[in-house]
Amino acid sequence: MEEKIRELLAGIVHPETGRDLASGGMIDSISADSERIVLTLRFAKTRDPFAAKLKNQAQELLSEAFPAAQVMVVVREGAPRRAEPANKTTTGGIGRVIAVASGKGGVGKSTVTANLAVALRNMGYRTGILDADIYGPSQPKMFGVEDYLPEAVHEEGIDQIVPAESMGISLMSIGFFIKPDDALLWRGAMAVNALKQLIHQTRWGRLDFLLADLPPGTGDIHLSIINELKIDTAVIVSTPQQVAVADVRRGVELFRNPQVNIPVAGIVENMAWFTPAELPDNRYYLFGKGGAREFAESHGVDFLGDIPIVQSIMEGSDGGRPASAIDPRVEEHYRDIAGKIVDKLTKTEE
């Protein structure tokens, strides 16, 4: 199918350069099955005046050729961040990768990741989580699969690691390979090598979205992950009292660095207000109100939404079932944010 798509795209010519999309290197990635085709086109020039036109042509051509599939064409600008790895990897079947980051630990990044994954699954998307938080891998616990022992299989010419499955979500975690007490020893090359292996050798199969739970902060480990994993967008999580702090700004800047060049989908304000279980309609803004919105506005970042402090969110994470899988009122917050992220990823970029 991919070959057929490339063949079709070879028929579309860039009016200025005279090169066709295929041989001119404008195809960044193709992910295709009978239901869905996601094509990313890349134009070396920023604001290429022909980008929108070529995108529409590709969209029309593919929709016509594959009437049963939902066709999504996205445009990116600038030279590719890196060449596709020469070695075989298992990331080819993944539609989009969403990185979830935070300036500091403890703000609820992993909880947001887990609940967004459940919301995306509830929206009908095939979803996976890569828990790359080497300092505190908490996804196995949140999904109740702490005892999972990943099995290795040899398929399609590579050794692959089978992810855990919980609630229809594929989960691979660095936590399956290290004891929590050893996490601090896992800095540097060892952690990077292990993460590389998880990124390239996990048997993800076909996923619409892979959520990557990044370690907190902005260190070398982030750059290594960014180099290995083709991240489509980043979501930054903060609490109200942390939002004005330099760590959050550094988080945004990390992705915006011209060498990195990953779009920031926006910021999520977690623990934005307190809602006691017995008074689910009351809101107490314990740590101040509106900080994330202001931060977003002043830094040119979108505000994706806020999530209250709810007892069931904490209990869900501790109990092996994210609250979004149990409580529809809670799920609504995450679904709203997930919807915005999906819209951004699928929206026409002009």
Q: What's the min distance (Å) between Cβ of 104 and ligand ADP?
A: 7
Binding mask 269-298 for ligand ADP (x = CB under 6 A): -xx---------------------------
Q: Let me know how many helices (H) and strands (E) the chain has, helices first.
A: 10, 13
**Tokens 């967004």, residue located:** 116
Query: Which of the residues 80 through 139 are near ligand ADP (CB under 6 A)?
Result: 102, 105-111, 136, 138
Give the H/E segment covering residue 296: helix 291-299
SS3 content of the chain, % helix, strand, coil (to 5): 35, 25, 40
Among 101, 225, 310, 345, binds ligand ADP (CB under 6 A): 310
Which residue in the set 317, 322, 331, 334 belongs to the binding site for ligand ADP (CB under 6 A)?
317
- Find all residues with CB under 8 Å of 34, minimum gap 6, and list them: 1, 68, 69
Mention every residue, 6+ apart, whose C-beta is less than 8 A from residue 224.
Answer: 192, 195, 196
Residue 160 binds ligand ADP, judged by CB under 6 A: no
Report 2-61 residues binding ligand ADP (CB under 6 A). none
Handedness of CA 269, 270, 274, 277 (dihedral sign): positive
CB of residue 102 to ligand ADP, shortest distance in Å: 5
* Nearest to ligand ADP of 150, 215 (CB atom): 215
Q: What angle do CA 343, 348, 350 make, to 5 degrees?
A: 135
Stretch that binds ligand ADP, among 8-16, 43-51, 143-151, 307-315 (CB under 6 A): 307-315
Stretch that binds ligand ADP, among 122-130, 162-170, 311-319, 336-344 (CB under 6 A): 311-319
Which residues are at the interface with ligand ADP (CB under 6 A)? 102, 105-111, 136, 138, 270-271, 307, 309-310, 313-314, 317
